[in-house]
Amino acid sequence: MTKTAWVFPGQGSQTVGMEENLLDHPLARMRFAQAEEILNWSVLELCQGDEERLSQTQYTQPCLYVVETVLAELLLKQDNPPVLVAGHSLGEYVALYTAGVFDFETGLKLVKSRAELMSTAAGGKMVAMMQFNREELETQIAAIPDVVIANDNSPQQVVISGTPTGVDALIAQVKARRKVDLKVSGAFHSPLMQSAAAEFAEILADVTFNDARIPVLANIDPTPAIKAAEIKSRLVQQMTGAVRWREIGDYLAQSGITKVVEIGPGKVLTGLLKRTSANLEVKNVSRIDEFSY
């Protein structure tokens, strides 16, 4: 019997035109209209505009949330739900929506606030590193102040985050085949986001969560959760905590899951899983005509 998990990508997967295949569907049109009322700007215009503006955090995150939730909602109508869900950073909000933890409007308002707080964070730096010695990396992180692993994506791919001084010192000490500066304003998923996280925690405190209908693997704790209080507690920690995607992939591979479907633009998450979990069948769904997975 096939046991399927759905995973949802985060910031960095956005592409101009990612909404195009959805425009003829009534549900999608309704969601785009709802989103415009909540955001006071048009997701459709952003997705049909220029890549530079779409890549700005305050726009990227709501646009991805809307496109991915529409795809997930349409897939759920096929009566073939997953047994687990997870999302990478912003994608975790889509996973929670899919699991019934909150409705579309509530989720989008949270994402809007999160994106605005993150976009105004300053004074940090993030660098992606590929093909390195992990023991050497972890040793240097322990020795250098104000730098952490923000995204632990796979054994050989991480994103480090921290003060510019700390990040520069680390990348000077650790050899890697490739190092890429990320175009972000702050040190996301690090303790330097504490001020923004505290503001966001106050917003979250006033939002009612439901128990999940589908277990959710969280970025900061890659074990299944259903209870609303536990899910909210994990989400409060997400802005300053690491995205432990490597461990999420390990859990999927070891828990009896046989197929993983990445829902949203791009193939980042399935690409990671292909390299680390050969026993998993992986599939991407970014368009309505790809629904028969």
At residue 121, does pLDDT exceed 90?
no
Alpha helices in 80-183 (DSSP H): 91-98, 104-119, 134-143, 164-173
Beta strands in 173-269 (DSSP E): 176-181, 216-217, 224-225, 259-263
pLDDT per residue as tens digits for the range 237-282: 999 999 999 999 999 999 999 999 999 998 999 999 988 887 899 9
Burial 179-207 (b: 16+ CB within 10 A, else e): beebebbbbbbbebbeebbeebeeebeee
What pLDDT, on the 0 to 100 scale, is given for residue 292?
61
Instruction: Give the Cβ contact number of residue 111 at 10 Å.
Output: 23
Q: What is the pLDDT of residue 206?
A: 95
Kindly state the tokens that stand for 48: 């049909």
Spatial strand order of the sheet with 281-285 comes to 224-225, 216-217, 84-87, 4-8, 259-263, 281-285
What 8-state DSSP symbol labels residue 209?
P
121 Cα distance to chain centroid? 18
Confidence of residue 113 (pLDDT cuts 50, 70, 90): very high
- pLDDT, residue 293, reads 47
pLDDT of residue 290: 75
Q: What is the reported pLDDT for 101?
A: 98
Euclidean distance between CA atoms 220 and 89, whole angstroms: 10
216 vs 209: CA distance, rounded Å: 13
Mean pLDDT of the chain, nearest integer? 94
247, two tokens = 């461990």
Active site residues: 89, 189
- The Cα–Cα gap between 69 and 72 comes to 5
**pTM of the complete model:** 0.96
Query: In the prediction, which pLDDT does 67 show?
Result: 96
Please, are residues 8 and 87 in contact by the beta-carbon 8 Å criterion? yes
pLDDT digits (tens, 9 = 90+) for 178-218: 999 998 888 999 999 999 999 999 999 999 999 999 999 99
The pLDDT of residue 111: 98
What's the average model confidence in pLDDT over 4-30? Answer: 91
What is the per-residue pLDDT for 47?
Answer: 92
- Domains of the chain (ranges, CATH numbers): 4-120+190-290 (3.40.366.10), 125-181 (3.30.70.250)
CB burial class (10 A; 0-12, 13-18, 19+) of residue 224? Answer: middle
Contact between 265 and 286 under an 8 Å Cβ cutoff? The reply is: yes
Phi, psi of 284 (to 5 degrees): -110, 140
Look at residue 289 and tell me whether its pLDDT is greater than 90: no
